[in-house]
Structure 1
Amino acid sequence: MEPLELRRAAEAGRATASELGLQVDDTVVIHNSDRVALRLVPCDVLARVAPSGHLTASEFEVEVARRLVDVDAPVAELDPRVDPRVHVREGFAISLWTYYEPAESAIAPAGYADALLQHHAALRRIELDAPDFTDRVAGALRQVNDQERSPGLSDSDRELLVSTLSGVTTAISAERAGDQLLHGEPHPGNLLSTRRGPLFVDLATCCRGPIEFDLAHAPEEVAQHYPGADHDLIHRCRALNWAMFSAWRWRRNDHMPDREHWRAEGLHQLHAALARCGLG
């Protein structure tokens, strides 16, 4: 978010928590992108604040969290002192979560894989109407197929993204077996190292697909510790993920920090991933 919108979002998060009886003397920005994560102190709440256009996604995330906590999934929990719902204030959708003190140790690949195994097992125990991963690919395709939405893309890069998003998705779909609910984006930024152990956050990306789609978001070493993973399929999913990442970065209204760097890095990683699975 831009500085002015960020200040408005922080005030909306602070006011919402205060009205619910939580003491808020200060707000600390933990993460700032298209939505912001704020630590509210001294009540130690993590407020996730998004523009109200993200209301449906915020409500979906809360519902996913509620169901997964009931089956002991390794996920961050909503704050137990308030109702588990999304609040709307001043044009923002606000959800309140437990804040976890970070652990000193990093998450080793084996621990990462174990957390993902536990998470996938928990996801198989819940019933949830979630989109297919191909729906997200279709959303990325709409961005790159529309020059008004992605005016900065060169013709060659646009062609690369379109062919990857279409062709790799077709190849993955032809081999799909045993699809299930997934986290959707379990990259290192969405796995917290806490004193309780690794916990997944950002649950609004939950979708249905092969477990390799999730594994492709994790560091490469993680898959070595995940039994039964199809490593060729992981390589293809990783190429697809970098194509989607690049599609979002080239949106005209993308607000990711250091966007120019990530535009170039995304395309670089896409070329490397395609070469690795023989599609370069």
Structure 2
Amino acid sequence: MEPRELRRAVAAGREAAVALGLPVDDVHVVHNSDRVVLRLLPCDALLRVAPAQGLAEAEFEVAVARRLAEAGAPVAELDPRVEPRVPVRDGFAVSFWTYYAPTGSAIAPAEYADAFLRHHAALRAIDLDAAPHFTDRIASALNVVNDRDRSPELADVDRAFLADTLGGLGAAIGGDRARDQLLHGEPHPGNLLDTARGPLFVDLATCCRGPVEFDLAHAPEEVAPHYPGADSGLVHRCRALNWALFSAWRWRRDDQMPDRDRGRTEGLRQVRAALERCG
């Protein structure tokens, strides 16, 4: 978020917490992109604050978190001191989560894969009719890439490249749904916390349906070999697809990701490198 919006989001988070009886003296910005993650002290709560147009997504994430916690998944849990709902304050949707102090240790590939196995098992044990298919995400990205008003700075050659990549890989991977199940959706290293309870997944709003390789492709390359039964070729194709999705979002006119220009260049480079690896 831009500085002005960030200040409003911080104020909205503080007001929402105080209204629910949580003591707040200090607010620390943990992460800032299209939504903000805040740590509040001394109540030690973690808040996700997003523009109110993202209310449905925030409510979906809260519902997913409740179901997965009940199923024993390795996920960050909601704050037990407040009702599991998403209040709206000054144009922002606010959700409340448990804060987990980082241990400072790196998550080993085998440990990452084990967290995936337990997470995927819990996802198979719940029903989420509202969860989209991962190809819906591809369709949204193609809408951005194919609409010059929504991606005005995307060069024609790169526009054609991303459209071909998204369409081709989407059709190839999404055509066979025999391996589909519920997934995290974006379980990259930034969404797996190393805590005293072990690795815990966060950012659950991206839950979708697809093959487990779509999730594995978000993790470091060393992780997939520790996941029994994973199709390495499919993981490589999904990795190229994930970079194409990342690139499409960075070219949105209203993208709020910090250091967006570097992300645009790096995203296109990573798509090409991943496609070369796929052959």
Give the alignment's TM-score, normalised by structure 2: 0.99
Per-residue deviation, residues 97-150 of structure 1 (Å, max 9, x unmatched): 000000121101111000011000000000111100000000000000000100
**Corresponding residue number in structure 1 for 2:250:** 249
**Corresponding residue number in structure 1 for 2:114:** 114
**Corresponding residue number in structure 2 for 1:165:** 166
Q: Please state whether the residue corresponding to 1:257 is helix, strand or coil.
A: coil
Structure 1 runs (4+) greater than 6 angstroms displaced: none
**Corresponding residue number in structure 2 for 1:199:** 200
Amino acid at match of 1:263: R
Amino acid at match of 2:91: G
Matched, 1:212 2:209: no
Following the alignment from structure 1 to structure 2, what is the Cα–Cα distance between the partners of residues 203 and 90? 24
Q: Please state whether the residue corresponding to 2:121 is helix, strand or coil.
A: helix
Deviation of 1:173 after TM superposition, in Å, equals 2.3
**After superposition, where does 1:86-235 map in structure 2 within 5 Å?**
86-129=86-129, 130-235=131-236
Amino acid at match of 2:76: A
Q: How many residues were matched structurally?
A: 278
Deviation of 1:19 after TM superposition, in Å, equals 1.0
Following the alignment from structure 2 to structure 1, what is the Cα–Cα distance between the partners of residues 180 and 78? 28
Following the alignment from structure 1 to structure 2, what is the Cα–Cα distance between the partners of residues 255 and 132? 25
Q: Please state whether the residue corresponding to 1:37 is helix, strand or coil.
A: strand
**After superposition, where does 1:72-83 map in structure 2 within 5 Å?**
72-83=72-83
Following the alignment from structure 2 to structure 1, what is the Cα–Cα distance between the partners of residues 150 and 196? 42
Q: Determine if contact 2:24/2:40 at 8 Å carries over to the other structure.
A: yes
Deviation of 1:255 after TM superposition, in Å, equals 1.1
Deviation of 1:235 after TM superposition, in Å, equals 0.7
Q: Which runs of 5+ in 2 are unaligned?
A: none
Q: Please state whether the residue corresponding to 1:220 is helix, strand or coil.
A: coil
**After superposition, where does 1:32-111 map in structure 2 within 5 Å?**
32-111=32-111
Per-residue deviation, residues 76-109 of structure 1 (Å, max 9, x unmatched): 0000000011010100000000000001211011
Following the alignment from structure 1 to structure 2, what is the Cα–Cα distance between the partners of residues 209 and 152? 31
Q: Which runs of 5+ in 1 are unaligned?
A: none
Matched, 1:8 2:8: yes
Q: Please state whether the residue corresponding to 1:221 is helix, strand or coil.
A: coil
Q: Determine if contact 2:174/2:210 at 8 Å carries over to the other structure.
A: no
Following the alignment from structure 2 to structure 1, what is the Cα–Cα distance between the partners of residues 104 and 174? 40
Following the alignment from structure 1 to structure 2, what is the Cα–Cα distance between the partners of residues 236 and 94? 36
Following the alignment from structure 1 to structure 2, what is the Cα–Cα distance between the partners of residues 175 and 230? 13
Following the alignment from structure 1 to structure 2, what is the Cα–Cα distance between the partners of residues 126 and 49? 26
Following the alignment from structure 2 to structure 1, what is the Cα–Cα distance between the partners of residues 138 and 231? 21
Deviation of 1:51 after TM superposition, in Å, equals 0.1
Q: Please state whether the residue corresponding to 2:222 is helix, strand or coil.
A: helix
Percent of aligned positions with the same letter in both sequences?
Answer: 72
Deviation of 1:27 after TM superposition, in Å, equals 0.3
Following the alignment from structure 1 to structure 2, what is the Cα–Cα distance between the partners of residues 214 and 161? 21
Q: Please state whether the residue corresponding to 1:48 is helix, strand or coil.
A: strand
Q: Please state whether the residue corresponding to 1:212 is helix, strand or coil.
A: helix
Per-residue deviation, residues 7-48 of structure 1 (Å, max 9, x unmatched): 110111011111111111010000000000000001010000
Amino acid at match of 2:16: T
Per-residue deviation, residues 146-166 of structure 1 (Å, max 9, x unmatched): 001001111110001000110
Per-residue deviation, residues 225-253 of structure 1 (Å, max 9, x unmatched): 00000000011111111110000000011
Following the alignment from structure 2 to structure 1, what is the Cα–Cα distance between the partners of residues 89 and 175? 45
Per-residue deviation, residues 199-250 of structure 1 (Å, max 9, x unmatched): 0000000000000000000000000100000000011111111110000000
Deviation of 1:175 after TM superposition, in Å, equals 3.9
Following the alignment from structure 1 to structure 2, what is the Cα–Cα distance between the partners of residues 239 and 26? 41
Following the alignment from structure 1 to structure 2, what is the Cα–Cα distance between the partners of residues 165 and 104? 36
Amino acid at match of 1:113: A
Amino acid at match of 2:86: V
Deviation of 1:177 after TM superposition, in Å, equals 2.3
Following the alignment from structure 1 to structure 2, what is the Cα–Cα distance between the partners of residues 51 and 207? 22
Amino acid at match of 1:51: P
Q: Please state whether the residue corresponding to 2:223 is helix, strand or coil.
A: helix
